Structure 1
Amino acid sequence: MIKISLVDDDPSDRSFLHSLVSGSFEKTGIAVEISEFESAEDFLSVFEPEIFDLCFLDIYMKKMNGMDAARQIRELDPELAIVFLTSSADYVYEGYEVQALRYLTKPPVPEKVHAVIDQFLAQTVLKNRRLAVSSGKQNYEVPYGKILYIMSVGNNIELHLKDTCIRLSARHTFTKTIEPLLQDFRFISCARGVVVNLAHVKALEKDRFLMDNGAPIPISRRQYAAVNDAYIDFQFEHML
């Protein structure tokens, strides 16, 4: 069951969007529960992390605007997919701050709503991908999205997350461990024994990636041109 919230102070706009969203999901066969809220304050009064999967949030409302509401939402739930509804491009750049999934211009066009639903469902699939590994006697199922990079260090394999590193058991081989990752568009080999998650790259420098946790990851001179092209493609296709 996908739980969706529509936050808009215009009843007719909410009703129209409700029909478009429910129609989009009918085509997928996925069950949904859609809740409507006439203000950001009403929504925040009942909001708790992980209650909703997707939120359509109007930016221009009479009291609290949608961008301020989104900032409060992000403090509680970094995973909720937020789609802004707007009649102006004034807040587009601020949307990066709260990691908005998409902007929809009001009144929304059915094809655009369908595209947003498709994008949301694709991201949901990505969030559910996990890498099964073990360290000592402990088994882990690590979400792909939480992996920053993986590298071979001597006889060891290190799986680096934002705030921790998992050193894999000796039964793991680097080739077998990275095989499923390299079938995911987010991951790329940038040097011998090094695979990075492009979604966690903060900057590409002349001989290295700078990851969003501050770690510098080397790029082999031989692979730099191909890595640079892959990074640019990733930005245009999946981040912009």
Structure 2
Amino acid sequence: MLHIALCDDNIDELSTMVTLLGEYKESKPIQFEYAVYHNGLELIPILEKGKKYDIYCLDIIMPSFTGIDLAKEIRRFDKNAQIIFFTSSTEFALESYSVRALNYVLKPVTREKLFYTLNDVLDQIVKVQETAIVVKSKKGIQKILLSNLIYAEAMGKKVLYHLISGSVVECIEQFSTVCDNLLKESNFIKPHRSFLINMSYIDTIKNTEIMLQNLTSVPIAQGKVKKIKECFLAFQMEEE
């Protein structure tokens, strides 16, 4: 089940989007539900309460609180959600990259435009969800989706996989092997000999530590902060 948020101050355009979403739903073997917001100030309190959507369809030109402003707030709570801008102006196209928007669609929104864009978004979501590793823990063989892995930590002869759910998968394996496998993925980085983190969950990079979205502090090895910041910037540009 996918969850989609629509935000546009124009009631007629919102109505068109809802109609087209209904047609799209009938044409695809997927289940999704959507919520409608008339401005960003309606959506922000929902996000603050912990609600997340897989896809955000945002108008850019809205009074008081633009779609770009709203997207920046969304990124505070969710680094991975797909953001699509629907707008009547091209002037914000460059700025949309700063919030890692997947697509920038010019209005009027047509059936062809919307279907093409949603197909692209779903391809991206499936790609992220399918990337996984298989580990042997005390509970047996487990599959860990990399999109759910916040960071891995070496502790003696054990490796602890910290997941977005708050659970920790404990395995007895070589941390060096884990690093060899995960560092092949563009979103993982090793800031310290005992930690490997998913950059999708970075909140803040400081001089001696990285703050993750789950409020965990991960140390940065001496002399590595510059490289870490460069890698994070490159990752954000790649995501755009």
Match of 1:164 among 156, 167, 173: 167
Residue 32 of structure 1 is matched in structure 2 by 28
| Contact 2:5 2:37 (8 Å CA) reproduced | no
Distance in 2 separating the partners of 1:3 and 1:197: 23
Distance in 2 separating the partners of 1:138 and 1:214: 29
| Contact 1:59 1:86 (8 Å CA) reproduced | no
The answer on 1:52 being equivalent to 2:28 is no
The answer on 1:211 being equivalent to 2:193 is no
Distance in 2 separating the partners of 1:78 and 1:15: 20
Residues 72-128 of structure 1 show CA distances to partners (whole Å, capped at 9, x for unaligned) of: 599796353121235437333233444561322141578986566534422331122
Is the alpha carbon distance of 1:230 and 1:5 closer, same or farther for their aligned partners in structure 2, counting shifts above 3 Å? Answer: closer
Segments of 5+ residues of structure 2 without an aligned counterpart are 89-106
Residue 68 of structure 1 is matched in structure 2 by 42
Distance in 2 separating the partners of 1:210 and 1:138: 31
Distance in 1 separating the partners of 2:142 and 2:200: 21
The answer on 1:94 being equivalent to 2:66 is no
Distance in 2 separating the partners of 1:216 and 1:73: 23
After TM superposition, the structure 1 = structure 2 runs for residues 158-237 of structure 1, keeping only pairs within 5 Å, are: 158-162=160-164, 163-168=166-171, 170=172, 172-237=173-238
Distance in 1 separating the partners of 2:184 and 2:235: 14
Residue 147 of structure 2 is matched in structure 1 by 145
- Percent identity reads 17
Query: Residue type matched to 1:220 in 2?
Result: A
Residue 135 of structure 2 is matched in structure 1 by 133
CA RMSD in angstroms, aligned pairs only = 4.0
**SS of the residue 1:149 aligns to:** strand
Query: Residue type matched to 1:140 in 2?
Result: Q
Distance in 1 separating the partners of 2:223 and 2:147: 27
Distance in 2 separating the partners of 1:196 and 1:12: 39
Residue 28 of structure 1 is matched in structure 2 by none
Residue 55 of structure 2 is matched in structure 1 by 81
| TM-score for both structures, normalised by structure 2 | 0.65
Segments of 5+ residues of structure 1 without an aligned counterpart are 23-30, 35-50
| Contact 1:150 1:195 (8 Å CA) reproduced | yes
Q: How many residues align?
A: 207
Is the alpha carbon distance of 1:33 and 1:76 closer, same or farther for their aligned partners in structure 2, counting shifts above 3 Å? Answer: farther
Query: Residue type matched to 1:159 in 2?
Result: Y
Is the alpha carbon distance of 1:102 and 1:210 closer, same or farther for their aligned partners in structure 2, counting shifts above 3 Å? Answer: same
**SS of the residue 1:148 aligns to:** strand
